[in-house]
Copies of this chain bind each other. A is one copy, B any other.
Amino acid sequence: MDIGTIGGILFAIGMILVGQALEGGHVGSLLQLTAAMIVFGGTIGAVMVSFPFHEFTRGIKMAGGTLTHKKSDLQKIVEQLVDLAGVARRDGVLALEQRLPELKDPFLKRAVGFIVDGVDATVARDALETEITHEFEEGAVGAKIFESMGGYAPTIGILGAVLGLIHVMENLNDPSKLGGGIATAFVATVYGVGSANLIFLPFGNKIKRKLTAEKERRILIAEGALSIQAGLNPRVLREKLLAYAGLHGLPEPKKE
């Protein structure tokens, strides 16, 4: 589990509420159904207009991905590709077919499949790169949906505050209600600014970071597979892939 996502939100909201409580503020005065309706209703509506519906639902689902943590397996992939390069050098690329069932990662499987099928190198590179870009951009829409919510929420929060102030201004003749009315109006600002800065924008950014990591992982696989097809020396391949993986300084495995 990605402790940063849950932990970060709890830490941020906790610190803010404790700070507020120490100051003597009542947390209860921050709970207002109408402000929540205005800010979150407006934000969700604006995003529904902004994106086609299937992109909207996909983006919301991607929020779940920010909660899970996948351990980096770049080193394992490098060794796997160097191993496959050794097989290809010794026994020819067709010998890779027997290794296909061992390969768990579907993208690696498809890349090695291209080699075994004898697909032309240019076509293989084009197909692999297109898939990487496509997958990344499709995911990036998910990140954009959260960034979009992070952009709408504070302005709709201000909209809610102005609506509240209009209401207050119309009842200026009862000054005793003045302060409470303004306080209520400000809660919409708190919801808008708070949700944007503690949830929406951070979620959008984390989705993007995870997509970037996955993209780099796939570029590593694609470069490895295409280099195997080109008959690159396993030793040189290892050096090259370590550069791609950003793993220089890694000791060589003993078995080689």
Which residues of A approach B to under 8 Å, CB–CB?
2-5, 7-16, 18-20, 22-26, 29-30, 33-35, 37-38, 40-53, 55-56, 66, 69, 110, 114, 117, 119-120, 123, 126-128, 130-131, 134-135, 138, 141, 148, 152, 154-156, 158-160, 162-173, 176, 178-180, 182-184, 186-187, 189-190, 193-194, 196-199, 201-203, 205-206, 209-210, 213, 232, 236, 239-240, 243-244, 246, 248
Contacts and interface: CB of A to CB of B under 8 A. Distances in A.
Contacts of A40: 15
B23 A164 contact: yes
Enumerate the 9 nearest inter-chain pairs by beta-carbon distance, A residue then B residue, closest first: A15-B41, A12-B45, A8-B48, A172-B179, A49-B202, A8-B49, A19-B37, A19-B38, A169-B183
A119 B162 contact: no
Given A164-B23, A186-B166, A197-B159, A205 B148 contact: yes
A169 B12 CA distance: 24
B243 A53 contact: no
B15 A45 contact: yes
A155 B5 CA distance: 20
B155 A155 contact: no
Given A52-B213, A135-B246, A170-B179, A42 B190 contact: no
A8 B45 contact: yes
A22 B47 CA distance: 24
A171 to B, nearest CB: 7
A204 B45 CA distance: 15
B138 A246 contact: yes
29 contacts: A2-B53, A3-B53, A5-B49, A8-B45, A11-B41, A11-B44, A12-B48, A15-B38, A16-B41, A16-B42, A19-B33, A20-B38, A20-B163, A30-B163, A30-B166, A45-B198, A46-B197, A46-B201, A51-B206, A51-B209, A52-B213, A119-B239, A120-B236, A126-B240, A130-B240, A131-B246, A159-B190, A166-B186, A172-B178
Centre residue among A20, A50, A131, A138 by max chain B CB count within 10 A: A50
A236 B8 CA distance: 47
B2 A14 contact: no
Contacts of A25: 163-164, 166-167
